[in-house]
Amino acid sequence: MKYIDEFNDPGLARRLLDEIRATVTRPWALMEVCGGQTHSIIRHGIDQLLPEEVELIHGPGCPVCVTPLEVIDKALEIASRPEVIFCSFGDMLRVPGTDRDLFRVKGEGGDVRVVYSPLDALQLARHHPDRQVVFFAIGFETTAPANAMAVHQARRLGLDNFSLLVSHVRVPPAIEAIMTAPACRVQGFLAAGHVCSVMGISEYPELAERHRVPIVVTGFEPLDILEGVRRAVHQLERGEHRVENAYPRAVREAGNPAALRMLEEVFEVADRSWRGIGRIPASGWRLTDAFRAYDAEHRFDVTGIRTEEPAVCRAGEVLQGLIKPTECSAFGTTCTPRTPLGATMVSSEGACAAYYLYRRMNGQNSQGAPAPRGAGIPQEEMNSVG
């Protein structure tokens, strides 16, 4: 396929890998911020191909994994109501709340639907004027403009049966939180290309300068990721810490002005909790007062739901590369992919889930061994029938 196959070329990948190998002289820890990049790294086995000096730490950039338990519980409460059609992106349906997930709500009679866009949910609101349609607005800066557009349209069309359950998060404050954490190991960032295609790159030079880390805006195809790694390693080896755009085919310095205008009109910056990490100042968005009427939390009066993360879970430290998953006391006992306590076990690509799968693949004693990443949710061994 034009413009995809070209970025998945084994010959070019080998050349980039050779160049990285020739450049690196000491260990470096890079964090890829975005879950989409993590997925691509796992899907193509990129982390196993890099020289061992280059460690990729999977960042907190999967919006599904970092949606706080409290917000999931609010979603479950709203989706259970008979008057509600609850619309969500597909992968949110299996993220566990305190005692169930959206699949379970659907199984118990809740009207839960997978949609591909908030505008699909808006259409449902037009076609079902007697029902309340709620869209689960999760994601980083990438999905936020379309969600803002949906609310904007709802107001323009006079649709008072449409609302958003908002759980938007912003990348730069997360980078700030990671860099200011005690014993932070991250020495360079692959910034999320799709986020930057909306926001531009103006928020990053100050971060790069203050924390003295290279930040390379990176795409999602294998060659994009290898090029991001190559540039980050190159800077680190030369003692530099600049912002570079290694994804110019999608990212302009100023971002997408129309999307930015839409965001500014509909959302305002707010503090936000991240599952497995905790509260990060100014790391989220909420609807502005002008659009508060479309806020499902207020409309369905679930603002009082307060759920604490299990204290035993150390996903936050795993996400920051401070500990290996196997160092957590809950790993493989009370916390498994079937009963995840934290973000890194919820996601099939999370570090804890990958270690869990690796342990299954190589017997039960891989404590501390480097884990090849695995896609898919590991399952317990099944008993034979009969």
**Listed ranges 62-70, 159-167, 258-266, 280-288: which one lies at the site for another protein (CB under 8 A):** 62-70
Residue 375 binds to another protein (criterion: CB under 8 A): yes
Q: How far is the CB of 321 from another protein (least distance, A)?
A: 20
Q: Tell me whether residue 289 or residue 308 sits nearer to another protein (CB atom).
A: 308
Q: How far is the CB of 291 from another protein (least distance, A)?
A: 22
Give residue for tokens 């090849």.
372
Q: Tell me whether residue 28 or residue 89 sits nearer to another protein (CB atom).
A: 89
Mind giving me the DSSP string for 74-116? HHHHHHTSTTEEEEE-GGGTT---SS--HHHHHHTT-EEEE-S
Q: How far is CA 50 from the centre of its chain?
A: 23
Residue 361 binds to another protein (criterion: CB under 8 A): yes
Residue 52 binds to another protein (criterion: CB under 8 A): no
* Structure token digits, residue 189: 């960032």
> Coil, helix or strand for 208?
helix
**Which residues fall within 8 angstroms of residue 318, CB to CB, at 6 or more apart?**
276, 324, 325, 328, 342, 344, 351, 352
Residue 365 binds to another protein (criterion: CB under 8 A): no
Q: Which of 116, 202, 206, 298 binds another protein (CB under 8 A)?
A: 116
Q: How far is the CB of 8 from another protein (least distance, A)?
A: 6
Between CA 173 and CA 282 the distance in angstroms is 7
**Number of residues lying near another protein (CB under 8 A):** 71
Q: Which of 23, 113, 360, 366 binds another protein (CB under 8 A)?
A: 360
- Among residues 329, 318, 297, the alpha carbon closest in space to that of 163 is found at 297
> Coil, helix or strand for 156?
helix
In contact, 225 and 217? CB cutoff 8 Å: no
Q: How far is the CB of 50 from another protein (least distance, A)?
A: 9
Q: What are phi and psi of 358, to 5 degrees?
A: -60, -40
Residue 126 binds to another protein (criterion: CB under 8 A): no
Q: Which of 30, 31, 34, 243 binds another protein (CB under 8 A)?
A: 34
Q: Which of 282, 312, 367, 368 binds another protein (CB under 8 A)?
A: 312
Q: Tell me whether residue 26 or residue 306 sits nearer to another protein (CB atom).
A: 306
Q: Tell me whether residue 172 or residue 337 sits nearer to another protein (CB atom).
A: 337
Q: Which of 30, 204, 357, 359 binds another protein (CB under 8 A)?
A: 357
Residue 89 binds to another protein (criterion: CB under 8 A): yes
Give residue for tokens 């795409």.
219
**Which residues fall within 8 angstroms of residue 270, CB to CB, at 6 or more apart?**
282, 284, 285, 286
Name which of residues 313 to 342 contact another protein (CB under 8 A). Answer: 329-330, 333-334, 338-339, 341
Question: 35-44 and 222-237 are packed helices; what angle lies between their axes, rounded to 10 degrees?
Answer: 100
Residue 369 binds to another protein (criterion: CB under 8 A): no
**Listed ranges 6-14, 203-211, 259-267, 319-327: which one lies at the site for another protein (CB under 8 A):** 6-14
DSSP 385: P
Question: 204-211 and 171-180 are packed helices; what angle lies between their axes, rounded to 10 degrees?
Answer: 10
**Listed ranges 24-32, 57-65, 145-153, 196-204: which one lies at the site for another protein (CB under 8 A):** 57-65
- For the window 238-277, what string marks contact with another protein as x by the rule CB under 8 A? ----------------------------------------
Strand partners, 217: 191, 245
Q: Which of 42, 87, 148, 164 binds another protein (CB under 8 A)?
A: 42
Q: Tell me whether residue 194 or residue 241 sits nearer to another protein (CB atom).
A: 194
Residue 13 binds to another protein (criterion: CB under 8 A): yes
In contact, 351 and 340? CB cutoff 8 Å: no
